[in-house]
Chains A and B, each alone.
Chain A
Amino acid sequence: MDPRASLSRLWRDEHSRSVIIQILAVVLIFGLFAYLVRNAVVNLEAIGKGFSFGYLQEPASYDINQHLIEYSSRSTHFRAMLVGILNTLLVAVSGIVLATVLGFSLGVLRLSKNLLASKLAHIYIDYVRNVPVLLHILLVYGIIVNTLPVPREAQSLGDIAFLTNRGFFLPKPIFEPLFLVILGLFAAGIVFTIWFRRYAADIQRKTGEHYPVFWISLGAVLGIPLISYFLIGGPITFEIPALTGFNFSGGMVVRPEFTALWIALSLYTAAFIAEIVRAGIISVNYGQTEASLALGINHGRTLNLVVIPQALRVIVPPLTSQYLNLAKNSSLAIAIGYMDIVATIGGITLNQTGREIECMIIVLLLYLSLSLLISFAMNIYNKRIRLVER
Chain B
Amino acid sequence: MDWLFLDAAFTGGSRDECSAKAGGACWAVIGERLNLFTYGFYPVAERWRVNLSLVLLIFTLFPILFEKAPYRKYALHIAVAFPFVTAWLLVGGLGLTPVETDQFGGFMLTLVIGITGIGFSLPIGILLALGRQSKLPAIQIFSIGFIEFIRGVPLITLLFVASTMLNYFLPPGVTFDLLLRVLIMVTLFASAYMAEVIRGGLQAIPKGQFEAADSMGLHYWSAMRLIVLPQAIKISIPGIVNTFIGLYKDTTLVIIIGLLDPLGIGRASLADTRWTGLSTEVYLFVAIFFFISCFGMARYSQHLEKKLETDHKR
Contacts and interface: CB of A to CB of B under 8 A. Distances in A.
Given A146-B280, A356-B164, A360-B160, A371 B267 contact: no
Contact of B280 (A139, A331, A335): A139
Interface in B241-286: 245, 249-253, 255-256, 263, 267, 270, 277, 279-280, 283-284, 286
Given A39-B172, A44-B168, A131-B287, A371 B151 contact: yes
B295 A126 contact: yes
Contacts of A127: 291
Interface stretch (B43-51, B85-93, B136-144): B136-144
A365 B135 CA distance: 29
13 contacts: A18-B135, A22-B137, A37-B169, A134-B252, A135-B286, A138-B263, A142-B280, A324-B151, A331-B154, A332-B156, A346-B160, A350-B164, A357-B165
B238 to A, nearest CB: 11
A165 to B, nearest CB: 11
A255 interface: no
Interface residues of B, number: 47
Chain A, interface SS category: helix
B314 to A, nearest CB: 14
A21 B161 CA distance: 31
B136 A21 contact: yes
Given A332-B156, A367-B154, A371-B152, 15 more contacts: A22-B139, A25-B142, A43-B167, A43-B168, A132-B263, A134-B253, A135-B287, A139-B284, A139-B287, A143-B280, A324-B151, A328-B154, A331-B154, A342-B160, A360-B160
A44 B251 CA distance: 31
A283 to B, nearest CB: 15
Contact of A134 (B138, B151, B263): B263
B256 A334 contact: yes
B157 interface: yes
A130 B291 contact: yes
A44 B172 CA distance: 10
Contact of B290 (A132, A143, A324): A132
Contact of B136 (A18, A36, A141): A18
Contacts of B286: 135
B178 interface: no
Nearest to B171: A39
A360 to B, nearest CB: 5
B204 to A, nearest CB: 15
Interface of B: 135-139, 142, 149, 151-157, 160-161, 164-165, 167-172, 245, 249-253, 255-256, 263, 267, 270, 277, 279-280, 283-284, 286-287, 290-291, 294-295, 298
A131 B138 contact: no
Interface string A342-371: 100010001000001100100110011001
B165 A356 contact: yes
Contacts of B138: 22-23, 25-26
Contacts of A342: 154, 156-157, 160
Contact of A130 (B153, B171, B172, B290): B290
B263 A367 contact: no
Nearest to A143: B280
A331 B250 CA distance: 13
**Which of B164, B167, B172, B298 has the most A CB atoms < 10 Å from its CB?**
B164
A360 B165 contact: yes
Contacts of B139: 21-22, 25
Contact of A364 (B157, B253, B291): B157
Given A39-B171, A371-B152, A146 B279 contact: yes
A346 B158 CA distance: 11
Contacts of A364: 153, 157, 161
Contacts of B168: 39-40, 43-44, 356-357
A263 B129 CA distance: 35
A23 B136 CA distance: 10
A135 B253 CA distance: 10
Interface string A133-155: 11100110111011000000000
A210 B171 CA distance: 74
Nearest to B263: A135
Contacts of B165: 356-357, 360
Nearest to B266: A138
A372 interface: yes
Contact of A29 (B142, B267, B298): B142
A46 interface: yes
**Which of B168, B277, B287 has the most A CB atoms < 10 Å from its CB?**
B168
A329 interface: yes
A44 B279 CA distance: 42
Contacts of A324: 151
B310 to A, nearest CB: 23
Contacts of B294: 129-131
B160 A134 contact: no
B26 to A, nearest CB: 12
A141 B283 CA distance: 11
A191 interface: no
Interface string A113-128: 0000000000000110
A5 to B, nearest CB: 20
Given A43-B172, A46-B172, A130-B294, A360 B249 contact: no
When A and B form their complex, which 9 residue pairs have the shortest distance between CB atoms, in order from nearest?
Answer: A142-B279, A130-B294, A22-B138, A132-B249, A328-B154, A331-B154, A371-B152, A356-B165, A139-B283
